[in-house]
């Protein structure tokens, strides 16, 4: 089980909406203009961010197509 100070954070939205760009600027010191070089996220990219020493963020950067997993109708249609 995750310790109380580990928090799971989901980052979701359509493909190309800018999820990885903003994550890279905030947590990985990217300059805004450098985010143009990022390629689309496939599936889920996990990153572990240590924040304020004892707070651990498990950031799940979910590629745009992962959102379709949320759709039960779609998952039933394609088993």
Distances (CA, A) of 14 to 4, 49, 53, 56: 30, 23, 32, 26
Q: Quick check: 40 binds another protein (CB under 8 A)? A: no
Q: Quick check: 29 binds another protein (CB under 8 A)? A: yes
Tell the smallest beta-carbon distance from residue 52 to another protein (Å).
5
Half-sphere exposure of 67 (CA within 13 A, CB side): 12
Binding site for another protein (CB under 8 A): 2, 5, 7-14, 16-19, 21-22, 25-27, 29, 31-32, 35, 44, 51-55, 57, 60, 62, 66-72, 75
């Amino acid at each position: 089980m995750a310790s109380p100070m580990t928090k799971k954070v989901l980052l979701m939205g359509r493909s190309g909406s800018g999820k990885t760009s903003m994550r890279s600027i905030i947590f990985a010191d990217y300059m805004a203009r450098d985010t143009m070089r990022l390629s689309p996220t496939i599936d889920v990219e996990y990153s572990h961010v240590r924040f304020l020493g004892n707070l651990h963020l498990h950031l799940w950067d979910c590629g745009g197509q992962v959102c379709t997993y949320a759709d039960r109708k779609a998952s039933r249609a394609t088993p």
